């Protein structure tokens, strides 16, 4: 009895996994995006450039990194809509969440 139950669950899960996923409608996606990093040659610039290239290649959206003043400026630029994404650190992010930034 236990073996039959296990086989039934395995059989049913095969169909759940094998069902093709429905593609998401991309008509409302932006045609490009920019990631706020920090100074050129710094860690944030390397991370942001790499991430932007990865997303652009895999989603077919034009993207890139922008040199900025760093984490605090990135949050401000995202808030005002000048950037879609911005890299930050936990300190400034927490201050912003608490309304102290």
- Of the two residues 63 and 25, the one the predictor is more confident about is 63
Reported as a single tens digit per residue, the pLDDT across 43-77 is 999 999 999 999 999 999 999 999 999 999 999 99
Q: Which two tokens stand for residue 76?
A: 């401000």
Domain that holds residue 50: 30-101
Q: Which two tokens stand for residue 47?
A: 């991370």
Query: Considering its fold, how many domains does the chain have in total?
Result: 1
| Axis-axis angle for helices 71-80, 90-97 (nearest 10) | 40
Counting residues of the chain whose pLDDT is more than 70, the rounded percentage is 77
Is 79 among the domain residues?
yes
8 confidence band (pLDDT: 50, 70, 90): low
Is 68 among the domain residues?
yes
Residue 38 has what DSSP assignment?
-
- CATH code of the domain in which 88 resides: 3.40.190.10
- Of the two residues 40 and 27, the one the predictor is more confident about is 40
Is 7 among the domain residues?
no
100 confidence band (pLDDT: 50, 70, 90): confident
Q: Write the CA distances from 68 to 18, 27, 29, 58, integer angstroms.
A: 45, 30, 25, 25
Asked if the model's pLDDT at residue 6 lies above 80, the reply is no
Q: Tell me, what's the pLDDT at 30?
A: 86
Round to whole Å and give the CA distance between 61 and 39.
24
Is 14 among the domain residues?
no
pTM beyond 0.85: the answer is no
Q: Give the E-state strand segments of the chain in sequence order.
A: 32-36, 62-66, 85-86
């Amino acid at each position: 009895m236990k073996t039959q139950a296990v086989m039934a669950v395995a059989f049913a899960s095969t169909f759940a996994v094998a069902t093709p996923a429905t593609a998401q409608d991309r008509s409302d996606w932006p045609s490009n995006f920019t990631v706020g990093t920090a100074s050129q040659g710094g860690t944030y610039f390397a991370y942001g450039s790499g991430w932007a290239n990865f997303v652009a290649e895999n989603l077919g959206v034009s993207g890139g990194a922008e040199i900025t003043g760093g984490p605090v400026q990135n949050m401000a630029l995202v808030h005002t809509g000048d950037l879609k994404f911005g890299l930050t650190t936990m300190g400034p992010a927490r201050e912003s969440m608490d309304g102290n930034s």
